[in-house]
């Protein structure tokens, strides 16, 4: 999971918030934003186990919740709960490999909450039912804002299919999400760091893709950056249970009117989410890959809606769903093994970094990186959770992070440069701030070239696998700062 080490760093800061031995007092709480549920759950669990284990447990539970939620939703529709296995290709796909933990957690909650959302429209919506739906919507909003919007799409689809005038209480969840979204953006207005402002500006420079481009990008948006033959195989694995289930469901139409209405609503919601995937921008504010986040829920709803009911042929569907899950796991295992080895090498590299130090991380791209569906360079962010201190770049600069830098302790200029490319490194100035630099590349030549280039300002401490650790030759300084910027941020990032 590419971004998971950055999330783990935030959890570590929360867990050791008042521990001066862990790191400098440069952080302050910034709670109340969307997408923070993962951090709250992992931090609570970190009080009874390690931060690393707490993060792993929450991630594993989130993935498990997706399978359980899909099975529960399918059973609610009168379908076979083995549909929960059929969602494996895109649950262990782009969202997972990229480390979009909020989306994975929110998707599991959403799928399990489908019966609640549907009954809210079907039955007489009194104050108690409304309170339950509002609580569910709030929980989804805290998991990830986009998942709360997905829940609203399902409610709207259910209202449309029933062709009844919506009750006033049906509008309340829409008002809640609108107020929370607007309120958060209003509260953050004027408080964005220079890093966040530059990030927003760079996001706005992305060209607006055409729907045809989005269609061509479906394999990557669902499964991650697998080679084309593997993506094609995963596409077949997705379609097989859906097509088989659709044929079986067609035979059942008319036997259960209520179930038919629910299925039509989910089909309508699936279509609406796919349209959002086609037309939404790449970024909105500081949020990126906005349109990606609606594709996986779209396919999950499609699998749930096509789950067949009990019949003799359902065993064929179960065999197909099981084969899909097994094939997905088989395809994923080599990536897990590769990632584990890179992390083991990183563990050995981190042993050479003093606790509480100020560390910078950079990634040197290599020509053969397309063979992986994860980014090894981001793993270096684990140094914050493992060794404490301060790390740049990190997710502390994000406006939705549960912690932020205290005023006067920001390092926006350095974060922007290191997060962009190693070419922006300014050794003489940067190593007067940084105690260590951790560089990653799966090309040994690139690592050795960087070490030779930085000999006047940093000494080689260790090379472990794909990792290079350099230590500053300048006198050690406190990571609290304040630090003067080396120069203006590169024009391309302003």
For residue 444, give Cα distances in angstroms to 121, 328, 361, 368: 59, 32, 17, 12
What is the 8-class DSSP label of residue 476? P
pLDDT digits (tens, 9 = 90+) for 204-263: 445 566 778 888 888 887 887 788 888 888 888 889 999 998 998 888 777 778 888 999
pLDDT above 90: residue 58: yes
197 pLDDT band, cuts 50/70/90, is low
Mean pLDDT of the chain: 85
Residue spans per domain, the chain = 34-332, 338-493
Look at residue 117 in the predicted model and tell me its pLDDT.
Answer: 93
Quote the CA–CA distance of 466 and 235 in Å, as a whole number. 32
Q: Identify the helix (H) or strand (E) that includes residue 449.
A: helix 444-453
pLDDT above 90: residue 412: no
Task: Return the beta strands (E) in 42-136 as ranges.
Answer: none
Look at residue 82 in the predicted model and tell me its pLDDT.
Answer: 94
Residue with the larger pLDDT of the pair 414 and 246: 246
Q: Is 308 helix (H, G, I), strand (E, B) or coil?
A: coil
Quote the CA–CA distance of 290 and 214 in Å, as a whole number. 12
Look at residue 193 in the predicted model and tell me its pLDDT.
Answer: 55
pLDDT digits (tens, 9 = 90+) for 343-380: 999 999 999 999 989 999 988 877 666 667 777 788 99
pLDDT above 90: residue 144: yes
Percent of the chain whose pLDDT exceeds 70? 89
Look at residue 56 in the predicted model and tell me its pLDDT.
Answer: 95
Look at residue 494 in the predicted model and tell me its pLDDT.
Answer: 34
Least confident range from 54-63, 244-253, 270-279: namely 244-253
Closest CA to 97 of 376, 426, 394: 376
pLDDT digits (tens, 9 = 90+) for 91-100: 998 889 888 8
Please enumerate in sequence order all residues whose Cβ is within 8 A of that of 414, keeping only pairs 6 or more positions apart, or say none: 360, 392, 430, 433, 483, 485, 486
Closest CA to 278 of 262, 265, 261, 290: 290
Look at residue 4 in the predicted model and tell me its pLDDT.
Answer: 92
187 pLDDT band, cuts 50/70/90, is low
Q: Is 462 helix (H, G, I), strand (E, B) or coil?
A: strand
**Mean pLDDT, residues 56-69:** 96
Closest CA to 187 of 179, 197, 195: 179
Angular region, 391: left φ>0, alpha ψ -120 to 50, beta rest: beta
pLDDT above 90: residue 32: no
Do 108 and 151 touch, CB atoms closer than 8 A?
A: no
Please enumerate in sequence order all residues whose Cβ is within 8 A of that of 107, keeping only pairs 6 or more positions apart, or say none: 62, 66, 69, 91, 95, 147, 296, 297, 300
462 pLDDT band, cuts 50/70/90, is very high
**Mean pLDDT, residues 138-163:** 93
**Mean pLDDT, residues 439-443:** 89
Quote the CA–CA distance of 356 and 435 in Å, as a whole number. 10
Closest CA to 363 of 340, 341, 342, 385: 342
Look at residue 438 in the predicted model and tell me its pLDDT.
Answer: 93
492 pLDDT band, cuts 50/70/90, is very low
């Amino acid at each position: 999971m590419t971004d998971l080490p950055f999330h783990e760093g935030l959890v570590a800061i929360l867990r050791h918030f008042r521990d001066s031995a862990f790191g400098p007092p440069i952080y302050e709480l910034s709670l109340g934003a969307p997408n923070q549920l993962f951090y709250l759950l992992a931090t609570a669990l970190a009080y009874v186990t390690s931060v690393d284990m707490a993060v792993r447990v929450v991630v594993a539970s989130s993935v498990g919740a997706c399978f359980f939620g899909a099975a529960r939703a399918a059973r609610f529709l009168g379908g076979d709960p083995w549909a929960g296995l059929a969602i494996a290709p895109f649950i262990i796909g782009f969202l997972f490999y990229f480390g979009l933990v909020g989306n994975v957690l929110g998707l599991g909650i959403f799928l399990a909450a489908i019966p609640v959302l549907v009954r809210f429209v079907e039955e007489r919506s009194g104050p108690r039912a409304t309170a339950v739906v509002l609580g569910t919507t709030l929980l989804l909003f805290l998991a990830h804002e986009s998942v709360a919007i997905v829940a609203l799409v399902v409610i709207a689809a259910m209202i449309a299919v029933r062709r009844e005038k919506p009750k006033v209480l049906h509008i309340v969840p829409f008002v809640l999400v609108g107020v929370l979204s607007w309120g958060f953006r209003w509260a953050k207005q004027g408080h964005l760091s220079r890093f966040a402002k530059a990030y927003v500006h760079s996001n706005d420079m992305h060209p607006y893709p055409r729907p045809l481009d989005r269609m061509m990008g479906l394999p990557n948006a669902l499964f991650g950056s697998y080679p084309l033959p593997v993506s094609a195989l995963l596409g077949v694995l997705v379609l097989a249970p859906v097509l088989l289930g659709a044929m079986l469901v067609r035979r059942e139409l008319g036997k259960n009117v209520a179930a038919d209405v629910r299925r039509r609503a989910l089909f309508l919601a699936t279509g609406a989410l796919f349209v959002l995937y086609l037309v939404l921008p790449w970024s909105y504010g500081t949020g990126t890959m906005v349109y990606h986040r609606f594709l996986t829920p779209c396919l999950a709803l499609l699998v749930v809606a096509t789950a067949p009911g009990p019949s003799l042929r359902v065993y064929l569907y179960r065999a197909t769903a099981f084969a899909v899950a097994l094939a997905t796991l088989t395809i994923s295992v080599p990536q897990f093994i590769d990632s584990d080895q890179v992390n083991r090498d990183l563990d050995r590299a981190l042993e050479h970094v003093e606790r509480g130090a100020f560390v910078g991380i950079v990634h040197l791209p290599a020509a053969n990186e397309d063979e992986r569906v994860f980014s090894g360079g981001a793993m270096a962010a684990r140094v914050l959770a493992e060794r404490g201190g301060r790390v740049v770049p990190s997710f502390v600069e994000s406006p939705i992070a549960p912690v932020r830098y205290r005023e006067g302790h920001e390092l926006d200029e350095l974060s922007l440069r290191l997060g962009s490319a190693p070419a922006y490194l300014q050794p003489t100035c940067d190593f007067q701030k940084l105690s260590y630099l951790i560089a990653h590349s799966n090309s040994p030549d690139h690592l050795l070239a960087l070490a030779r280039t930085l000999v006047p300002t940093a000494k080689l401490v260790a090379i472990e696998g794909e990792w290079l650790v350099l230590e500053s030759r300048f006198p050690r300084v406190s990571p609290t700062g304040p630090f003067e910027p080396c120069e203006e941020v590169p024009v391309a990032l302003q």
